[in-house]
Structure 1
Amino acid sequence: MPALISGLAVLLAATMVLAVGVGPVAIPLETVWGVIAHKLMPGSVEVVWSNGRENIVWDVRAPRVVLGAAVGASLALVGAALQSVTRNPLADPHLLGVSSGAAFGAIMALIHAGMVFGAITVPLFAFAGALGATALVLAIANLARAQSAGQLILAGVAVSFVITAAGNLLIFIGDPKAAHVAIFWMLGGLGLAQWSHLPYPLVVLVLGGTWLMTQTRSLNAMTLGDESATALGIPARRFRLVIFVVCALLTGCAVAYSGVIAFVGLMIPHIVRFFVGGDYRRVLPLSGLVGAIFLVAADMAARTVMPPQDMPLGILTGLIGGVAFVVLMRRRATN
């Protein structure tokens, strides 16, 4: 297990470095390493590259790659955790209307409110929308006295439909040019990444991910059902609500900076379980690493499929994820 985690960590680092060099303007790997070393340790290497290439590497691609790794890890961790506490193999980060709430907030900022807080306006509104959607789901569940995982999921699905309809209404009545920008954001992408934005998703990932890693025993117990978990001393209902709140924070912060990216949270935990089994002591950390690698690689492909334009990342992850999932299902059926 430690060797596997170390190997995936090395693969993630290599994929991130490779991704910085790939794009409409190819940058040699030695230049990528040189720019990174120069920025982290000024004067450690001789500057033999142009200012333009340095800007591409450090100001455009590097923050984009770091954000992709953070978002991929966050979505995969959330998907794995939700699949445990809901005992639903189709659970993913969008299950509780979190992504719909984030999309609603972003649409409000892009079309109607304007950039009132500068460059951070869209992420701020998206994050507020995600938290608002989560609070609404929990309020409805409490009002309906929903106690089971299935009832909470139904509340989330209902809220998701309502918020999605409200967001579509905002697009319909808004300015067509601004609506085009909002639709592109809803399809997902990392093109708006900036160094100044990265502390927020990274801090949330470290805090939320670390807490989830400490709960692997409880997550294993929750896969057996509420009665079994309670018999093992775990307050199933309260634990599930806490997991939902933590997952909402992780998803909301990720979606706020990347838009709505499909299939990562659903697909990655299943792929990991296919190879290492269902023990969350392995599933959770490996899901985070594989999710980060997958999204960085997918974004690298999105930058090269339709140069000089970027293909929306949500479209690409949906295509790749759907095909990969069908292949896995076929292999499982034949084994």
Structure 2
Amino acid sequence: MSATRQAARQAARLRGRRRSAGALVGAYLGLVLAILAVLVVSAATGPADVGAVDAVRIIVGHLIPDAPWMSDGSISLLQDQSVWQFRLPRTLLAGLAGAGLALAGALMQAAVRNPLAEPYVLGVSAGAGVGAVAVITLGSAAVGGLPLSGAAFLGALGATAAVYLLARQDGVLAPTRMILAGVALGSLLSAVTSYLTLTTEAQNVFSVLFFLLGSVSAATMDQLAVPAAALAAVTLYALANARALNALLVGDESATALGVNVNRLRGRLVIAASLLTGAVVAVSGGIGFVGLVIPHTARILVGADHRRMLPVAILGGALFLMAADVLARTVAEPTEIPIGIVTAVVGAPFFLWLIRQGRAARAGMLR
């Protein structure tokens, strides 16, 4: 009887694992299909009249050489330029930015073992803001001739280096010191940004506010390379170290007992998350809320195991910000609002609703 019961239990566990794997694959597939659907909707949304079918034809036509429908007169030059040169780049940049911020938030929360941590807490966004606002208000000569995106990235790197050095104590990277140093440095850098904004000419204020609140409206295909490369590199690193990230969740002593060099891993996670955030903020501005909400939502949906959670967070972040960009363009049409406003207004109530469902505690988000 005992052997029969044990076999039945093993069979039940195997069926449970198969159902779990099937649900996970379904979640991945659902997110990918939703991303493709939002991509098509975004490409078909705008002042120029372009249908969803024509938007798909234009995108495919640029990917396939000598596509016949691109030269038979069924698609006008205005439609082609609207989709390929304006709508598609901003949608892809929104997807890359959302995926990058969500991944950075997940890594930061694992590094400091704090569910409220995100890259903006460490002052990375504030550093990028100082660099960008300096270019807008003082001109590129003030930062050695760098363009706005280059100055923003340089500011993010400087903030990352400062927090990293301030958080080290006796050669150890302390999570609490890291958060405190980030909050203090972020406040200081935000004060610098506010001073530059208040002392600049009136016509520059709108550009400053649009950058600080986030926007992908000026995206071009050339701007996609840096955030895409940063996202790919950090994703590969995070997935390769997913087991070590899981070990960090149970505490430093337990992780060390499992063979994880906690201090070195934590330092690399902070650097990777900060550089990824800098690459995103440099081209999309200070889009908040994504790095905090999306990783938590992914944990509620698939659990805290980083091998499952990270891909869901990446895809979910891309979907969330792509949809937010469509809303930013249409909710107050013909006026476009900063995408950071949409992420807060839409994301906060949804996140609070998830918490109210009681699944947050079961996912390990709330104790």
TM-score category, normalised to shorter length: over 0.9
**Match for residue 157 of structure 1?**
183
Query: Which of 287, 292, 311 pairs up with 1:285?
Result: 311
Query: Which of 8, 19, 32 pairs up with 2:55?
Result: 32
Query: Which of 44, 55, 65 pairs up with 2:67?
Result: 44
Cα distance in structure 2, aligned partners of 1:266 and 1:184 = 21
Cα distance in structure 1, aligned partners of 2:115 and 2:185 = 20
Q: Specify the SS of the correspondent of 1:7.
A: helix
**Larger RCO of the pair (alpha carbons < 8 Å, separation 6+):** 1
Cα distance in structure 1, aligned partners of 2:68 and 2:37 = 20
Cα distance in structure 2, aligned partners of 1:115 and 1:75 = 30
Cα distance in structure 2, aligned partners of 1:303 and 1:277 = 34
Q: Specify the SS of the correspondent of 2:117.
A: coil
Query: Which of 112, 122, 141 pairs up with 1:86?
Result: 112
What is the aligned residue count?
334
Instruction: Quote the offset at 1:179 in angstroms.
Output: 2.3
Query: Which of 155, 162, 165 pairs up with 1:129?
Result: 155
The one-letter code matched in structure 1 to 2:30 is G
Contact 2:133/2:197 (<8 A) preserved:
yes
Q: What are structure 2's unaligned runs of at least 5 residues? A: 1-23, 363-367
The one-letter code matched in structure 2 to 1:253 is A
Cα distance in structure 1, aligned partners of 2:293 and 2:359 = 17
**Match for residue 274 of structure 1?**
300
Per the normalisation by structure 1, the TM-score is 0.95
Pair 1:329 & 2:352 matched: no
**Match for residue 217 of structure 1?**
243
**Match for residue 309 of structure 1?**
335
Q: Specify the SS of the correspondent of 1:42.
A: coil
The one-letter code matched in structure 1 to 2:89 is P
Q: What are structure 1's unaligned runs of at least 5 residues? A: none
Instruction: Quote the offset at 1:333 in angstroms.
Output: 7.5
The one-letter code matched in structure 1 to 2:60 is A
Query: Which of 311, 320, 323 pairs up with 1:294?
Result: 320
Instruction: Quote the offset at 1:230 in angstroms.
Output: 1.0
Cα distance in structure 2, aligned partners of 1:115 and 1:321 = 38
Instruction: Quote the offset at 1:224 in angstroms.
Output: 1.0
Pair 1:66 & 2:89 matched: no
Deviations 1:85-125 (A, max 9, x none): 211111112121000001111101111024899x9811111
- Mean Cα deviation higher: 300-309 or 40-49: 40-49
Deviations 1:127-162 (A, max 9, x none): 010001001111222378664211111111111111
Cα distance in structure 1, aligned partners of 2:244 and 2:147 = 37
The one-letter code matched in structure 1 to 2:266 is R
The one-letter code matched in structure 1 to 2:204 is A
Cα distance in structure 2, aligned partners of 1:120 and 1:201 = 18
Percentage identity across aligned positions?
Answer: 37
The one-letter code matched in structure 2 to 1:29 is A
**Match for residue 15 of structure 1?**
38
Instruction: Quote the offset at 1:11 in angstroms.
Output: 2.2
Report the CA distance shift for 1:216/1:174 in structure 2 as closer, same or farther (over 3 A). same
The one-letter code matched in structure 2 to 1:176 is A
Per the normalisation by structure 2, the TM-score is 0.87
Cα distance in structure 2, aligned partners of 1:79 and 1:272 = 12
Cα distance in structure 2, aligned partners of 1:120 and 1:133 = 17
Cα distance in structure 2, aligned partners of 1:115 and 1:2 = 51
Pair 1:171 & 2:197 matched: yes
Please tell me whether Structure 1 or Structure 2 has the larger radius of gyration of its CA atoms.
Answer: 2
Contact 1:34/1:45 (<8 A) preserved:
no
The one-letter code matched in structure 2 to 1:20 is A
**Match for residue 9 of structure 2?**
none
**Match for residue 243 of structure 1?**
269
The one-letter code matched in structure 2 to 1:69 is G
- Mean Cα deviation higher: 146-155 or 214-223: 146-155
Pair 1:255 & 2:281 matched: yes
Q: Specify the SS of the correspondent of 1:244.
A: helix
Instruction: Quote the offset at 1:6 in angstroms.
Output: 2.9
Kindly report the root-mean-square deviation, in angstroms, between the aligned alpha carbons of the 2 structures. 2.0
The one-letter code matched in structure 1 to 2:43 is V
Instruction: Quote the offset at 1:23 in angstroms.
Output: 2.6
Q: Specify the SS of the correspondent of 2:121.
A: coil
